[in-house]
């Protein structure tokens, strides 16, 4: 599409994206699909990429980083099973697009980014679009945000060498975390679910009998930019 593309053109492309890329691949969470249908993805990519904003793939956003493929954003969001009052932590703000989707579905979102220029641009756009429930913070997100923990959901949008223990510790009881972990030449998208402690949920048993436990499930192979930081890869 040319420079004169209208909001209606983009809305049409966005609808095709939901039908052809998401529903066709069996994503069927109505709340997630409604958020994907609503958030103007083309505003989160550089102007030179706008024509490709609703294509079935990732796109460059500057600083050597990428906005993830729409399917990956929707799939990760679906795995988080968000409720309207949930407190969510995202690591890797990038363009701010995933944060906007989270903000549509949850109560409050904290999103962490190590590149100040990306964080500033994302914060400005999110505010312009009226997302007052998103807090963009410039820091090493591999350490999470302990001062705001616990979170109902944590999503990491960069590939980690392993699941950082500090992030597991910041997940609340019954919390869900989605994180790509390096495995061979690719990454493996993992879902980590924290159960409630004994007493609150009878069928959970572990050695201490007091703590909650974590269940880790491998979801699919994927490709992400690296998580760089203290609990990630060295710079």
For ligand SAH, which is the closer residue by CB, 43 or 198? 43
Reply yes or no on whether 68 is catalytic: yes
For ligand SAH, which is the closer residue by CB, 33 or 136? 136
Longest dimension (CA), the chain: 63
For the chain, the C-alpha Rg in angstroms (whole number) is: 18
For ligand SAH, which is the closer residue by CB, 160 or 212? 160
Q: How far is the CB of 6 from ligand SAH (least distance, A)?
A: 24
Q: How far is the CB of 68 from ligand SAH (least distance, A)?
A: 5
221 contacts 188 by C-beta, under 8 angstroms = yes
> Which residues in this chain contact ligand SAH in the complex, by CB under 6 A?
65-68, 91-92, 94-95, 97-98, 112-115, 118, 140-142, 157-158, 225, 227-229, 232
Q: How far is the CB of 98 from ligand SAH (least distance, A)?
A: 3
For ligand SAH, which is the closer residue by CB, 114 or 212? 114
What the block records as the tokens of 156 is: 């990491």
Q: How far is the CB of 100 from ligand SAH (least distance, A)?
A: 8
Residues in CB range of 147: below 8 A, 6 or more apart: none
Separation CA 164–CA 140 (nearest Å) = 13
Separation CA 9–CA 143 (nearest Å) = 41
Q: Which of 68, 95, 142, 195 is catalytic?
A: 68
Q: Which of 160, 157, 18, 8 is nearest to 97 (CA)?
A: 157
Task: Give the CB-side neighbour count of residue 189, counting CA atoms within 13 A.
Answer: 18
- Which residues are marked as active site? 68
């Amino acid at each position: 599409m040319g420079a004169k593309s209208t909001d209606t053109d983009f809305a049409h492309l966005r609808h095709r994206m939901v039908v052809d890329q998401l529903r066709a691949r069996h994503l069927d969470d109505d709340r997630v699909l409604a958020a994907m249908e609503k958030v103007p993805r083309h505003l989160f990519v550089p102007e030179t990429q706008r024509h490709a904003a609703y294509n079935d793939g990732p796109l460059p956003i500057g600083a050597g980083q990428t906005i993830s493929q729409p399917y990956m954003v929707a799939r990760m969001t679906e795995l988080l099973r968000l409720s309207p009052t949930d407190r969510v932590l995202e690591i890797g703000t990038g363009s701010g697009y995933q944060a906007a989707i989270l903000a549509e579905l949850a109560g409050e979102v904290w999103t962490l980014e190590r590149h100040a220029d990306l964080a500033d641009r994302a914060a400005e756009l999110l505010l312009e679009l009226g997302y007052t429930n998103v807090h963009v913070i410039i820091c090493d997100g591999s350490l999470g945000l302990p001062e705001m923990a616990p979170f109902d959901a944590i999503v990491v949008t960069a590939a980690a060498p392993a699941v950082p223990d500090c992030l597991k510790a910041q997940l609340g009881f019954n919390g869900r975390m989605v994180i790509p972990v390096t495995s061979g030449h690719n990454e493996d998208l993992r879902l980590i679910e924290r159960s409630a402690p004994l007493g609150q949920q009878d069928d959970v048993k572990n050695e201490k009998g007091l703590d909650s436990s974590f269940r880790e499930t491998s979801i699919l192979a994927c490709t992400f930019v690296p998580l760089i930081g203290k609990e990630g890869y060295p710079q």
